[in-house]
Structure formats: C-alpha cells, structure tokens
Amino acid sequence: MIYAANFKTNHTRTTTRAYIEALSEKLVKKKVEDRVFVFPPLTALDRFEGDFTIGTQNAYPTQNGAYTGEIGLEQLNEFDITTILIGHSERREHMHEDQQTVAKKYHFFMEQGFEIIYCIGEPLEVRESGDDAVAKYLLAQFKGIDLSYEKVIVAYEPIWAIGTGRSATVEEIASTHAMLKSNMDRPLLYGGSVKPANIKEITAIDGVDGVLVGSASLDVESFSQMIFC
C-alpha cells in the first residue's frame, strides 16, 4: 500500500520537522512493501532521513528564472526532491491550472525523471450525472498525460469528497477504480476524506493501491494509525 500525506497550506518548518521525526520513529515497524510519502508546504522542504519520500506539492516547470512566487528545479535539487504532486483539484480550481498547463508541468517533470503523483477527480454535478459522465470527465484529465511513464502514480480524488468529511462510498470507489484501471496500468490511490475510521474499508477495495490523505494526515498519530491499520 501507498500512504501519502498532503499537508496543503498547513504546518510550518518547525512543526513539519517535529512531525517527520515522530513519523520516522514509527516507520521503523513499517512493512517493507508499503511506501509513505509526505508533501509538506514549500517552506518546509528539506533533506530528511527515513523510510519515506518527501515530495513537493507544486513547482513551476523550469530550471530557474523569472517566475515570481514559484520554485523550480534549482530549489528542489537543493534538497534532492524528486517527487511532485501534479493536477490536484485545488490547483486546478484556485490557481486556474487548466489541462494544458497541468500536462505541460507533467511533461517537464517526467523528462526530469521525477516520480509524479498525478491527481484527477470530478465535481459533484458530474458525479450526479452518472457513471458515463464521470468516466468521460476523468479520462479527459488524462489528455496530454503519458501514462506509460513508469514513475507515475495516479490519485483519484472526487472533489466533493475532499476536505468535506464525506468520503466516496465503497461502491463508488470500486467502480471508478475499475473503470480507471481498465484504461491504464499504474498504481491508483484514492483520496477524499480518508481517515482512521474508514482506512480499512478503503484499502480493502479491489483496485485501490493506496491513499492520498489531507486533513487526517496533519496529525502524525492519525496518519500513522492509518499506515498501521
């Protein structure tokens, strides 16, 4: 299983360090086949030792340059960061990243050999329009995305389940993952209100290779409870 923690705009440099130290101690008992990722805010990126991978929540597709407010490869290289989250619905929505922008970023970081967690997900009105509408919407988010890349992990995160406390049902996750798996051959995470109370039933679903967790990952006890569920 893959367990990924997305801190979003939470935690500081100091609290991230304390979190990682606590997590590191717990991960001594981790199953070798499990993988753990942590995506702290950009200001907390650093070199951390342990049985986990630190990734960046975002970066601009450039080595360096005049992109005010962004970071590029030069800043990531300083900390040996080679993992990135791309396509998260919050960036698509709040930062207006359209599919073309997302695909360009994907292509750039693929060329750099980064491991990519590529996020897709539908809004509520699409989910309410039925399975065909969901499939059409999600598959459109693969436009310009090379899924033959061996270092991509896809994360399915229905927008209406993110940060709402309302996870998709087991049936919704199972059928959507089956549809996605019939269109690609990469590890597939589920994200959207994953928490200690539902981790077991979610990771037991066929076609779920792991989880991407926001709110319930912010507390190290809660995140590790999920890893060791």
* Active site amino acids: 88, 157
Contact between 176 and ligand PGA per CB under 6 A? no
Q: Which of 180, 188, 194, 199 binds ligand PGA (CB under 6 A)?
A: 194
Q: How many residues make contact with ligand PGA (CB under 6 A)? A: 13
Contact between 163 and ligand PGA per CB under 6 A? yes
Q: Minimum CB separation from ligand PGA for residue 53, in Å?
A: 16
Q: What are phi and psi of 170, to 5 degrees?
A: -55, -40
The answer to whether 224 touches 12, Cβ cutoff 8 Å, is: no
Question: Which residue, 120 or 126, has its beta carbon nearer to ligand PGA?
Answer: 120
Contact between 152 and ligand PGA per CB under 6 A? no
Report which of 176, 171, 220, 166 is spatially closest to residue 197, judged by C-alpha positions: 166
Q: Which of 1, 3, 6, 38 binds ligand PGA (CB under 6 A)?
A: 6
d(CA 153, CA 132): 23
Contacts of 28 (CB under 8 A, 6+ apart): 51
**Residue 217: how many CB atoms within 10 A of its CB?**
28
Contact between 121 and ligand PGA per CB under 6 A? no
Question: Which residue, 73 or 97, has its beta carbon nearer to ligand PGA?
Answer: 97
